[in-house]
Amino acid sequence: MRTTYREAVREAIREAMRADSRVFLMGEDVGRYGGAFGVSLGLLEEFGPDRIRDTPLSESAFTGAGIGAAIGGMRPIVEIMTVNFSLLALDQIMNNAATLRHMSNGQIGVPLVIRMTTGAGRQLAAQHSHSLEGWYSHIPGLRILAPATVADARGMLAPALADPDPVLIFEHGSLYNTEGELPESIPTCDISSAAIGRTGTDVTVITYGGTMPAVISAADELATLGISAEVVDLRVLRPLNDATIMQSVRKTHRAVVVDEGWRSGSLSAEVSARITEQAFFDLDAPVMRVCTEEVPIPYAKHLEEAALPRPERIVRTARELVGR
User: Where among 181, 205, 224 does a domain terminate?
Assistant: 181
Residues 13 and 143 occupy one common structural domain:
yes
Is the whole-model pTM more than 0.85?
A: yes
| pLDDT recorded at residue 324 | 56
Q: Directed axis angle between helix 212-224 and helix 311-323, to 10°?
A: 50
Decide if 189 is inside a domain.
no
- Whether 134 and 177 map to the same domain: the answer is yes
* Number of other residues whose CB lies within 10 A of the CB of residue 204: 28
- Residue 164, C-beta contacts closer than 8 angstroms, at least 6 positions apart: 109, 111
Q: Which residues are catalytic?
A: 59, 128
- Pseudo-torsion of CA 317, 319, 322, 324, nearest 10°? -80
Rg over CA atoms, the chain: 20
**212 and 176 belong to one structural domain:** no
Q: Using CA atoms, how far apart are residues 294 and 274, in angstroms rounded to an integer?
A: 23
Which residues lie below 8 Å from residue 195, measured CB to CB, with a gap of 6+?
232, 233, 235, 244
Whether 162 and 243 share a structural domain: no
- What local confidence, expressed as pLDDT, does residue 199 receive? 97
pLDDT at 107: 96
Residue 221 lies in a domain: yes
Strand partners, 23: 75
How many CB atoms neighbour CB 93 within 10 A? 28
What is the CATH classification number for the domain harbouring 308?
Answer: 3.40.50.920
What domain range is 301 assigned to? 195-323
Is 174 inside any structural domain?
yes
User: Both 200 and 171 in a single domain?
Assistant: no
Does 188 reside within a domain?
A: no
Q: Which residues of the chain have pLDDT under 50?
A: none
Residue 186 lies in a domain: no
In a domain, 22, yes or no: yes
Same domain, 126 and 235: no
10 and 63 share a domain? yes
The answer to whether residues 220 and 176 belong to one domain is no
Domain limit, last residue, from 181, 211, 230:
181
Number of structural domains the chain divides into: 2
Q: Are residues 199 and 317 in the same domain?
A: yes
Same domain, 147 and 220: no
**How is 273-306 classified by DSSP, letter by letter?**
HHHHHHHGGG-SS--EEEEE-SSPPPSSHHHHHH
Nearest C-alpha neighbor of 171 from the set 57, 7, 15, 9:
9
- Other CB atoms within a 10 A radius of the CB of residue 96 amount to 20
Say what the pLDDT of residue 261 is: 97
Question: In terms of domains, do 25 and 168 share one?
Answer: yes
